[in-house]
Amino acid sequence: MTNTQQLKTDVLVVGGGTAGTMAAIKAKQANPEAEVLILEKANIRRSGAIAMGMDGVNTAVIPGNSTPEQYVREITIANDGILNQKAVYQTGKLGYEVIQELDSWGVKFQKDTYGNYDLKQVHRVGKYVLPMPEGKDLKKILTRQVKRHKAKVTNRVMATRVMVKDGRAIGAVGFDVRNGDFVVIQAKAVILCTGACGRLGLPESGYLYGTYENPTNAGDGYSMAYHAGAELTNIECFQINPLIKDYNGPACAYVASPFGAYTANAEGHRFVSCDYWSGQMMLEIWKELNSGKGPIQLKMTHLDEDTISEIESILWSNERPSRERFHESRGENYRTHGVEMHISEIGLCSGHSASGVWVNEKGETTVPGLYAAGDMASVPHNYMIGAFVFGRLAGTNAVEYVRDIEHLEPDADWLAAEKARIYKPMQNPNGIPHTQVEYKLRRIVNNYLQPPKNTYKMDIALNKFINYHDTLDLMGARDPHELMRCMEVYFIRDCAEMAARASLYRKESRWGLYHYRIDYPEKNNEEWFCHVNLKKEDDQMTLFKRPVDPYIVDVNLEKEVYDVKVASK
Amino acid sequence: MALTTQRVDVPVIVDESKCLEKCNACIEVCPLDVLVKNPETGKAYMKYDECWFCLPCEKECPTNAITVQIPFLLR
């Protein structure tokens, strides 16, 4: 028999990474009396995208260097005009306060000899990159602040669904990934902060967990928000990154390019003018690789010894520190070798591109009482500072919202059905292992959804993803840990179907490689200057156009086109 | 279904002579929750081949008993 744990809180934060820890801290700062609980399927000390710290801030808007308006302009152009400027403006406006607060908690940012933040230019226009050479303990510092602010934490419990009643979010259900307990949490508001869908495509190495994103980020929040009835947006704007071949981590140009490193083809020539990650840059990389001038590399061999040592000391202590032993095992060295780069498999992540759950400038989704922040919330190119900003907004607004709200009892039949759905693989211990079921699903994603996209391929993909429900039924789990991985495969399947449907719906090309359709190769502003949103309606995945809100910062998109191509030599 | 067990080379190597029976540091910090104690020896080992080679287990081990290799398929 499975035990059931019943919990109650005012604000429930699902996922204790960058956005989630900040959401909990800010909710407690705004109302110390409110009960705030973080639910985390790993351990918040080392979880989420920044488990091993971060080597820099990519979107720092610091007075004297840039303004929120300039930042909104740059992101508007980089994201081909499709965005809610009011939401992006928040990242520009509140990012500086976030950095100052993190600084006061002991997070170290690079400063010049005068004590000013030492910003670098990586974007096409403007300085927004603030190095954090000693950013490795970021997550430990956030964990300490969560405890200081007396937010509660439940580690090793995975949420599977948001509970909804009378049209609003009333909590979440899930299970303990170690003892298998069924867990029901009643809450007055729920903030989803579960990160990207980083396990959508399959890395070329074939290793399921050799992903760019922390592989625990399996699209949990995308799927949970969808089943709760919330709108998702820009899903067809995939996340595709230029990564170290095979290692699948960043090289990282944001760290190295201010020191003089650059992306080059096999001949050593530049072919992109700017190393800021964008779909347009990825399209140039795809073209270069297909032109016979590949492989491509991050070139550092021309730099002097001191510079290379400094780059190494940053890259080998932060974010993905195992880079050092990867290069070592291959006998490669930045002094003598370019770092071979490659196009990653696809994922969903608004931290890098724009695919996510629809949120407004308050972090609200379209379901009352349900908030989202971080990589899974669609605020284009939001990166780490955007996750902190929207964690802060969601936490502050959610705690305000719960003031006049009472708990609602969840529906008993719904709970019984969800419990049966979760534990089904445990009834079938000799079923097909999750590893094989996941491998096949993600191979289909690679074969039919990896851009360039076309209708024939995506129709096949969609059909396979719909039929994959039957395959999921065959999955077997032998313990709660395996059950966690099984439930993640359900999330990945949902994300794959969303990715196929949204990509089929938008009949044009936009965002460079992220949504490059061979059958509709041109951008078509007349018909497609809009968001493509989707939601669950009468149990069906329904897609529709949502107009782009009027701009608050003027940008002439006819004149200002994001172009990073370097004329070939 | 008919199933078989296959051998795999796992990335996390534990030096059992250094691993402390009463310590759970590596198990607590692993994001993928792949490390467990062998109930017979009290030593940690990698039970599930689901590694992000992210290194918290190695960094937080008080006796330096852990070495994380890059998974064979990527190496």
Whether residue A92 is contained in a domain is answered as: no
Q: Inter-chain contact A216–B32, Cβ cutoff 8 Å?
A: yes
Q: Which of A46, A205, A430 minimises the CB distance to B29?
A: A46
What per-residue confidence (pLDDT) applies to A125? 86
**Do A478 and A438 belong to one domain?**
yes
The average pLDDT across A125-136 equals: 89
- Residue A441 forms part of a structural domain: yes
Q: Classify residue B50: in a domain, yes or no.
A: yes
Q: What is the dihedral of CA A507, A508, A514, A517, to 10 degrees?
A: 80
Asked if residue A336 belongs to a domain, the reply is yes
Mean local confidence (pLDDT), B30-35: 98
What pLDDT was estimated at residue A16?
98
Q: For residue B74, give the DSSP letter.
A: T
User: pLDDT value at position A568?
Assistant: 60
Contacts of B54 in chain A (CB under 8 A): 46, 51-52, 214, 320, 322
Rounded mean pLDDT, B59-70: 97
Q: What is the pLDDT of residue A67?
A: 96
Residue B26 has pLDDT above 80, yes or no: yes
Instruction: Specify whether A518 is located in the same domain as A449.
Output: yes
User: Is the Cβ pair A433, B48 closer than 8 Å?
Assistant: no
Give the model's pLDDT for residue A250. 86
Single out the residue of A268, A276, A258 nearest to residue A298, CA to CA.
A268
Q: What is the pLDDT of residue A185?
A: 98
Q: What pLDDT, in 10s, does the model give residues A453-475?
A: 999 999 999 999 999 999 999 99
> With bands split at pLDDT 50, 70 and 90, how would you rate the model's confidence at A90?
very high
Beta carbons of A233 and A533 less than 8 angstroms apart: yes
Over residues A254-274, mean pLDDT? 91
Predicted pLDDT of residue A124: 86
Q: Which pLDDT belongs to residue A251? A: 83
**ipTM for the complex shown:** 0.98
Q: Does pLDDT of A284 surpass 70?
A: yes
- Residue given tokens 């195992």 in the structure block: A322
Q: What is the CATH number of the domain that holds B29?
A: 3.30.70.20
Mean pLDDT calculated for residue range A304-328: 91
Which residue segment(s) compose the domain that A487 sits in?
A: 417-528
A318 touches chain B (CB under 8 A): no
The DSSP string of A516-557 is -BSSS-S--HHHH-EEEEEEEETTEEEEEEEEPPPPSS---T
Q: State the CATH number of the domain containing residue A190.
A: 3.50.50.60
CA atoms of A318 and A53, how far apart (whole Å): 6
Residue with tokens 């287990």: B57
Confidence at residue A567, expressed as pLDDT on a 0 to 100 scale: 73
Residues A164 and A292 in one domain: no
Cβ–Cβ under 8 Å, residues A380 and A10: no
The pLDDT of residue A512 is: 97
Comparison of pLDDT for A238 and A125, the residue scoring more = A238
**Interface check A332 vs B, CB under 8 A:** no
In the listed set A308, A327, A343, which residue is the last one of a domain according to the structure?
Answer: A343
Rounded mean pLDDT, A394-403: 98
Question: pLDDT confidence of A172, banded at 50, 70, 90?
Answer: very high
* Buried-exposed string A371-408: b where 16+ CB fall within 10 A, e elsewhere: bbbbbbbbbbbbbbbbbbbbbbbbbbbbbebbeeeeeb
Is the pLDDT higher at A157 or at B2? A157
CATH number for the domain including A324? 3.90.700.10
| Chain B positions touching chain A (beta carbons under 8 Å) | 1, 3, 28-33, 47-48, 50-56, 60, 68-71, 73-75
Pairing of the two strands A339-343 and A356-358: unpaired
Say yes or no to pLDDT of A319 above 90. no
Instruction: Report residue A221 as tokens.
Output: 């929040």
Give percent of chain A above pLDDT 90.
89
The span from the CA of A237 to the CA of A242, in Å, is 16
Among residues of chain A, what percentage have pLDDT more than 70?
99
Amino acid (1-letter code) at residue B64? N
Asked if the model's pLDDT at residue A569 lies above 70, the reply is no
